[in-house]
């Protein structure tokens, strides 16, 4: 039963991350980039760094989402997802968006829990193909 619970949690996180990506592409990567550059213009982060991050973020979110939805390279997906959330938390702190930080901490906790309970990831492509993890 724990394995089913992990599967459902993994699917929910995967859908969340994947549809973050889809949403950013739907409204246009340049619109998302422009919004981010505007949000961070008062910080010490150079606009080129913000632009690069905003450009790469939807692709990374999509890859993490697919990894979790399919259960393939799941551990790597969890690590990359955790790193994404860490960068988002840092950025949110820099622009004083404390409500965003609170929500992002929920993601951080979810990634931690999934990493901690990874041995329950038995209903996955990783397990089916016996893919070695990190």
Q: Can you say whether the dihedral through the CA atoms of 55, 61, 66, 72 is positive or negative?
A: positive
- Write the pLDDT tens digit of every residue in 16-25: 999 999 999 9
Per-residue pLDDT at 98 exceeds 90: yes
- Write the pLDDT tens digit of every residue in 62-89: 999 999 999 999 999 999 999 999 999 9
Backbone phi, psi, residue 97, to 5°: -100, 75
Average pLDDT over residues 5-17: 96
Contacts of 43 (CB under 8 A, 6+ apart): 94, 95
| Domain residue spans of the chain | 2-128
């Amino acid at each position: 039963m724990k394995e089913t619970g992990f599967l459902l949690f993994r699917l929910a996180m995967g859908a969340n991350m994947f549809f973050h990506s889809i949403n950013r592409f739907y409204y246009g990567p340049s619109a998302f980039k422009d919004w981010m550059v505007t949000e961070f213009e008062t910080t010490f982060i150079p606009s080129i760094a913000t632009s690069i991050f905003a450009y790469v973020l939807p692709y990374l979110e999509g890859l993490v989402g697919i990894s979790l939805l399919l259960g393939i390279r799941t551990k790597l997906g969890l690590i990359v997802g955790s790193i994404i959330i860490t960068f988002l938390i840092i950025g949110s702190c820099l622009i004083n968006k404390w409500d965003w930080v609170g929500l992002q901490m929920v993601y951080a906790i979810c990634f931690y829990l999934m990493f901690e309970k990874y041995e329950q990831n038995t209903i996955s492509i990783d397990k089916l193909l016996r893919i070695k993890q990190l």
